[in-house]
Amino acid sequence: MHFVGRFPDFTLALHSPYEDHSVGYSRASLVDHTVGSDQIGVSINQLKPGSVLEGHFHTYEESFYILEGCAVLGINQHACRLGPGDFGVIEVGLPHAWRNAGEGAVLWLGMTARPPEAREKECATFFAKNSRMAVAKRPCDSSRLKGPPLGHFYPGQITPSAETRQVGVDSPDVFLKTLIDQKLGAHYHRTLFVEYQPGASSGRHNHPFEEAYFILSGEVFATLDGERYLAKAGDVIWIGAGCIHAFANVGSEPVRWLETSSPQPPACTAG
């Protein structure tokens, strides 16, 4: 089972329970139960200039990667200023809030995963009475948070070092960087930054877990259960457990994507 969609075809809109607890916030769900997933959620989130998403918490694990703009993320009364390439994990039940801290819109990719005990239930979001206070004004002190929940990686940091190249693919011209896993505090999902150089490819394979890919730049041919697709920047791909898949960059530019897996697979498994 698989799904291929494109972000511009999804509508950014405000949904319950956010209507009464935000200003200028909207989201588009790219991967959820409607495409067949029961492990992974992927969404595009937007905050317009001067906008706020009040303090809240979820019954699922969440992570994010900032695509555009400048935001302040409030976690337990500590404020963290974020920009493109910043990412982090928000644990189950951890109060947090968002504020646009720039002149343009903030856009981020959100990834979610359910704890095993929540997979048979409807996951939910809750807002506290004092939720407006969750965005603090002082700088973030990571040492006072549980673990190191934040990080930064941008394509300009990619190096040709052999240590960064993925083992077990058909071409050595594949860059792999783990962004989110247990080391960062995620227990139920993992997110990688992947780059395929022109000519790079992976052989047909499958996994006992779900995967979702959000294409950041470039173009790649994806073969999913025998069907071939050309995925471009802004496209999202979801594959269910057991889906036989392969990728090939037959273009002249690198292709880059964010890849999320759940349940969290072994550290050496990707693609």
Together in a domain, 26 and 114: yes
* Euclidean distance between CA atoms 171 and 56, whole angstroms: 44
- Identify the domain boundary among 152, 184, 213: 152
CATH number for the domain spanning 209: value is 2.60.120.10
Encoding tokens for residue 45?
A: 């989130």
> Whose structure tokens read 């555009």?
68
Domain limit, last residue, from 152, 184, 199: 152
Q: What tens-digit pLDDT sequence spans the chain (271 residues)?
A: 999 998 877 789 988 788 889 989 999 999 999 999 988 999 999 999 999 999 999 999 999 999 999 999 988 767 888 999 999 999 999 989 999 999 999 999 999 998 876 555 667 889 877 655 444 444 454 444 444 488 999 888 887 654 455 544 445 688 889 999 999 999 999 999 999 999 999 889 989 999 999 999 999 999 999 999 999 999 999 999 999 999 999 889 999 999 999 987 766 555 6
Same domain, 130 and 214: no
Residues 18 and 134 in one domain: yes
What are the structure tokens assigned to 8, written together? 């511009």
Q: Total structural domains in the chain?
A: 2
CA angle, residues 162, 251, 67, in degrees to nearest 5:
70
Residue 170 and residue 132 in one domain: no
Q: Is residue 270 part of a domain?
A: no
Q: Which two tokens stand for residue 95?
A: 């109060």
Looking at the fold, whether 75 and 181 belong to one and the same domain comes out as: no
Between CA 33 and CA 20 the distance in angstroms is 25
In a domain, 229, yes or no: yes
pTM: 0.89
The answer to whether residues 95 and 170 belong to one domain is no
Report, in this order, helix, strand and coil percent for the chain, each rounded to 5: 10, 50, 40
As a whole number of angstroms, the distance between CA 37 and CA 100 comes to 30
Task: Please check whether residue 230 lies inside any domain of the structure.
Answer: yes
Phi, psi of 63 (to 5 degrees): -140, 170
Q: Are residues 16 and 148 in the same domain?
A: yes
Sign (positive or negative) of CA dihedral 123, 210, 63, 100: negative
Contact indicator for 262, 61 with CB cutoff of 8 Å: no
Does residue 269 fall inside a structural domain? no
Give domain status of residue 268, yes or no. no
Q: Verify that 120 and 227 share a domain, yes or no.
A: no
267 domain-assigned? no
Q: Establish if 104 belongs to a structural domain.
A: yes
3-state SS class at 181: coil
- Same domain membership, residue 52 and residue 69: yes
Beta strands in 167-268 (DSSP E): 174-180, 190-196, 210-217, 219-224, 227-232, 235-239, 245-248, 255-262
> How many Cα atoms within 13 Å fall on the side-chain side of residue 144?
10
- 125 in the same domain as 14: yes
Residues 216 and 175 in one domain: yes
Tally the C-alpha atoms within 13 A of residue 163's C-alpha that lie toward its C-beta.
Answer: 0
The domain in which residue 91 lies consists of: 2-152
Q: Which of 121, 152, 183 is the last residue of a domain?
A: 152
Same structural domain, 146 and 161: no
Gap between the Cα atoms of 165 and 224, Å rounded = 24
Does the residue 25 lie in any domain?
yes
